[in-house]
Structure 1
Amino acid sequence: MTLLRSARFPALLLLIAAIAGIVVANTPIGADVIGFMQLHVGVAGTAVDLSLAHWVSDGLLAVFFFSVSIELQFELTRGELRSFRKAVQPAIAAAGGVIVPIAIYLAITAGSGLESGWPIPTATDIAFALGVLAVFGRGLPPAVRVFLLALAILDDIVGIIFIAVLFATDVNFGLLAMAVIAVIAFAILSRMLDTRARAIIIPLLVVLAGATWVLVLASGVHATIAGVALGLAMAQSPALRVRHAIEPWINGVILPVFAFSAALVPIPSVGESGLSPAFWGILIALPVGKLIGIAGAGWIGQRVIAGAANTRIALGDLLAAGALGGIGFTVSLLLSELAFAGDRLVRDEAVLGVIGGSVASVVLAGVLVSWRARHHRALENRAPAVTTSGAAQEGRA
């Protein structure tokens, strides 16, 4: 269990699962496995009649978003986003990390009819990015990790908004109102967990969580939003305990299963027309757009927002954070499925673009993070031999 709570191993597991999905899809058994994932399980004739692939993306992934929103709740109330001063700089960088990839994607896909995929390259995979940081970032200042964590959480907020607003279909507001009532009841009961009625309350919370998920699914809003709402609504102390308990399952089962399922993509044969603009837009927008957007907006933000010079993050560290931000994976894979749900070929190419762009970002981030880590370790080793002003000057390099 300790291994599954670490930063490095889950990131490696996620990458292996995604690669395994592509490999399996392109073997003789690929068609059978893809067909199996389309097998429907549930109550026929109801909203809860889903293929296995949708049980993974709509069901299991709701648990992942539940965990993410608990972390978000903590950061907004007691963590790095609890005040405007703390949140504003990563917020500006996150905005750049969303706007520039969108601009690059739209520029590449202009006139192709595939512009609807613009949300795909806007996401950052927190677990994967922190995993790469853990592998290559020994010696980096804690401020860089904090900045990246805040940045990735804000990215997730944007992704959640995109999922909730852009991919809702024929919304049934009556069912959505019932889901809100269930969430409110869930929030109230979660604040009574430390009473003697705990044995009764826990099963009720599970029932309310399941009911919320079904109601959101049936309402036409993507079911993962149920996980977001429940995570934000739950009382913080028990929520953090629940998150700690489910973390190994999310890292060891849910995310790898989702990555494998989403990456079950036959590599398309490239004809004279080549791969679609959606593939190239995502492939380029993730590593290039995130790097330019995050580093550029972060650098500008630090000069627009007044603050002590020693609280600023050096441009080299911003570049490393920007490269880490290009690792899309989980949310980007989900956005690919949603944006091109009606066109399987384009969806598959979009998935390949996400994996290719994320792998390129991993390589780029590995190089830049290693460079910055060496730089900071060298500064530490030389610290006794230089003056304070000299060290401050080098730190801003």
Structure 2
Amino acid sequence: MNLIKTTWKRFISSEKSGGLILIACTLISLLIANSSVGEVYLSYWDYPLGGHSLALWINDGLMALFFLLVGLELVQDLSEGELSNRKTAYLPMIAAIGGMLVPAAIYLLFNAGTATHSGFGIPMATDIAFALGILSLLGSRVPLALKVFLTALAVIDDLGAILVIALFYSTSLSWVYLGASLAVFALLLILNKYFKVKSLFPYLIGGVLMWYWMLHSGVHATIAGVLLAIAIPFEKRNPDCLSIRIRNYLHYPVAFLVLPLFALANTAIQVEGNWDAALGEPFAIGILAGLIIGKPIGITLFSYLSVKAKLCHLPSGVKWKELAGAGMLGGIGFTMSIFITLLAFKGNSHFINDSKLFILLASLCSAILGFAWLNNVLKKKKG
């Protein structure tokens, strides 16, 4: 029994466990959706609950916890982590910008002026759990500085995706609801900064109200999670501050409940016999080329130009070939890419289902390419 407990603890604390569970949930969801009970399984996620479908509660409700966790990690990184030091922050920051702009440009190259132009944000995202999970499979051969670079890049990438969602994927605004939500945000900031309130209760109540009014405002409700993260008290070098305590509480529920549920609900794709016919469509080319080609080119090129311009320098012990491999892993989109797909093609099941399939395909290709490239580079380096 103790051996089982020890093994389980090691599993859930490992970097790759979250990614492995997401892979398992994706495969399970795809298999069930394409089985004899596929129609029943699909209808399950459309089950009405409190005026909304079960899938919507997951995508707009539970995923707000994911965005809260991302926001809390961003706050700490900007305050005392890798992003707090300009010298170490500039390279992943510039690389992340390149990794967003180039894939979006490639997508728009094929889709500008078409019915699918709104999907430009799909190939801009990197899935941090999957990317770090694949990198961890290479073991101790991976330089610590490369892991730090990829982590910082993915965190900044998440911030970029959040801004893209807020700016480009909000529907018609209700200024009353948006004003009410922002008023709660302002009140929470005042409680934190001026009254030094460190109790969880007011932030919990305020977060629920902010989420509810944001949901009805036309701005995506998950943005409330990021705003709440900013409002929650954070203290440098204090592991017992409210922000870090909440982040620690959320880590396992988000990694092992929220994201798996998101994967199950949003990868329930029925693959038709002629699915490959869509490969020639502009949105498919944009997603595949954006993630598989655009991500590594954008990350590596912008990194190279910034180093040559002496804005920053390569991390100690990291070679250009290794950084290029990290750029390939940046093409693993998954969670955020699927999330943006739901917003970009809202109501169009054809584009949504096919886009999800191509995101999975592009992420798989990026994972294989990145792993194979880095495995080869690190072998030669060790030799």
Report matched runs for 1:1-397 at 5 Å.
3-42=11-50, 49-110=51-112, 112-189=114-191, 201-236=199-234, 237-270=241-274, 274-275=278-279, 276-306=281-311, 311=316, 313-378=318-383
Q: Which has the larger radius of gyration?
A: 1
Structure 2 CA distance for aligned equivalents of residues 146 and 309 of structure 1: 12
Q: In the TM superposition, what whole-angstrom CA distance separates every residue of 1:284-341 from its partner, at most 9, and x where no partner exists?
A: 2212111111112112211112556774842101111101111111110100111111
Contact residue 140 and residue 376 of structure 1 kept, 8 A? no
Structure 2 CA distance for aligned equivalents of residues 5 and 57 of structure 1: 25
Note closer, same or farther for the CA distance 1:188–1:134 as it changes in structure 2 (3 Å cut).
farther
Structure 2 CA distance for aligned equivalents of residues 181 and 309 of structure 1: 43
Note closer, same or farther for the CA distance 1:241–1:280 as it changes in structure 2 (3 Å cut).
same
Structure 2 CA distance for aligned equivalents of residues 185 and 9 of structure 1: 38
Q: In the TM superposition, what whole-angstrom CA distance separates every residue of 1:347-380 from its partner, at most 9, and x where no partner exists?
A: 10011111111111111111122223334444xx
Note closer, same or farther for the CA distance 1:343–1:124 as it changes in structure 2 (3 Å cut).
same
1:390 aligns with: none
Structure 1 CA distance for aligned equivalents of residues 372 and 306 of structure 2: 25
Structure 1, gaps ≥5 residues long: 43-48, 379-397
Contact residue 92 and residue 152 of structure 2 kept, 8 A? yes
Note closer, same or farther for the CA distance 1:17–1:193 as it changes in structure 2 (3 Å cut).
farther
Contact residue 146 and residue 315 of structure 2 kept, 8 A? no
Q: In the TM superposition, what whole-angstrom CA distance separates every residue of 1:59-105 from its partner, at most 9, and x where no partner exists?
A: 11110010011111111111111143332221221121112211222
Contact residue 101 and residue 286 of structure 1 kept, 8 A? yes
Note closer, same or farther for the CA distance 1:242–1:271 as it changes in structure 2 (3 Å cut).
closer
Note closer, same or farther for the CA distance 1:226–1:280 as it changes in structure 2 (3 Å cut).
same
Contact residue 190 and residue 238 of structure 1 kept, 8 A? no
Structure 2 CA distance for aligned equivalents of residues 301 and 289 of structure 1: 18
> 1:184 deviation in Å?
3.1
Aligned-residue sequence identity (percent) comes to 33
Q: CA RMSD in A?
A: 2.3
Structure 1 CA distance for aligned equivalents of residues 38 and 115 of structure 2: 29
What SS is found at the alignment partner of 1:267? coil
Matched positions, count: 368
Structure 2, gaps ≥5 residues long: 1-8, 235-240
Note closer, same or farther for the CA distance 1:352–1:372 as it changes in structure 2 (3 Å cut).
same
What SS is found at the alignment partner of 1:327? coil
> 1:167 deviation in Å?
1.3
